[in-house]
Structure 1
Amino acid sequence: MTGTLTRLPDWRARLAAEMDRQRRDPFAWGRHDCALGLAAGAVTALTGADLAAPWRGRYRSPSGARRVLHKAGFSSLADLVASILPEIPPARARVGDIGLIAADGPLKEALCVVDVSGLIAMTEPGHGRRPRADMIRAFKVG
């Protein structure tokens, strides 16, 4: 796990601005996917820390993402996130924390961002919504 992250004093405004910015970008493996776009963007907005820097530019497809994960010693996306952020019960997740949901895509799981009214998740055209009950794991940001 990395050092303790601290939320910036204006994290709410920064998160709102980041989510608004991201809404304009469609899904793209290795650039604007659930990890490098959605979750990493939220973490950076909340804390100023870019935890995804070592992963950027290393894959452009689902098979590439799997290969990079396995080469780094992780069997899943959830295992990677758990090595960086502290895991918490999904019921304790608050706005800005990172969640994990089951997905139909090639990795069978996806990261999301906890919001006031549920979860923000990536879809092909951009952001989508999921109910909070879909979250199977959660990770504390700051």
Structure 2
Amino acid sequence: MNRFRIVEATLTRELSTPYAYGPADCFHLGCAMADALHGVSLVEKYRGAYRTLPGAQRALRRRGFSSLVDFFAAELGQEPAGGASARFGDLVILRLADGAEHVGICLGLRFITKTEKGRSDRGLSDVIATFHLG
């Protein structure tokens, strides 16, 4: 299967499930895409690690990470790149207007994330880090 079809299938699956902290949130979306394109097993490794936003923040700190950027840098074994270097299907960390970090996926000229309100399309100005997958 080519990169486009892998990204499309993963996004369709992940965005079709109702938002729930832990099993179906933006972090899980990023882990699923990393698993599909990068050959890691993050979904299984972090399944059930939290059920609320404060629980997610505690889970990161408990594992020694101060941010989502630190987490994915360690788990993917790479330094973050700038937003403009993102390719189709790459994982990005977004900072939204409320100051919160979200995990997103590059779709070329836009970046999508999963929020409690559903899919959210974002622009390059919201990207604070990119991780190349595959």
Does the alignment pair 1:57 with 2:53? no
Does the alignment pair 1:34 with 2:31? no
Partner of 2:131: 139
Contact 2:104–2:113 (8 Å) recurs in 1: yes
Contact 1:27–1:33 (8 Å) recurs in 2: yes
Q: Distance in 1 between matches of 2:14 and 2:61?
A: 28
- What does 1:80-99 align with in structure 2 at a 5 Å threshold? 80-85=71-76, 86=78, 87-99=80-92
Q: Distance in 2 between matches of 1:117 and 1:25?
A: 24
Task: Identify unmatched segments of 5+ residues in structure 2.
Answer: none
1:68 aligned partner, one-letter code? A
- Other structure's SS at 1:101 match: strand
Q: Bigger shift: 40-49 or 83-92?
A: 40-49
Q: Distance in 1 between matches of 2:43 and 2:13?
A: 18
- Other structure's SS at 1:52 match: helix
2:56 aligned partner, one-letter code? A
Root-mean-square deviation (Å): 1.7
Partner of 2:114: 122
When the two structures are superposed, what TM-score results if normalisation uses the length of structure 1?
0.83
Structure 1 position 125, deviation (Å): 3.6
Moved over 3 A (4+): none
Structure 1 position 92, deviation (Å): 1.0
Structure 1 position 13, deviation (Å): 0.7
Contact 1:11–1:45 (8 Å) recurs in 2: no
- Other structure's SS at 1:67 match: helix
Structure 1 position 95, deviation (Å): 0.7
Q: Bigger shift: 15-24 or 91-100?
A: 15-24
Contact 2:22–2:51 (8 Å) recurs in 1: yes
1:49 aligned partner, one-letter code? V
Q: Deviation per CA, 1:114-133: give whole Å up to 9, x if none.
A: 11230011121432211122
Q: Distance in 1 between matches of 2:9 and 2:20?
A: 20
In the comparison of the two structures, how many residue pairs are matched? Answer: 131
Identity of aligned residues (%): 34
- Other structure's SS at 2:42 match: coil
1:50 aligned partner, one-letter code? S
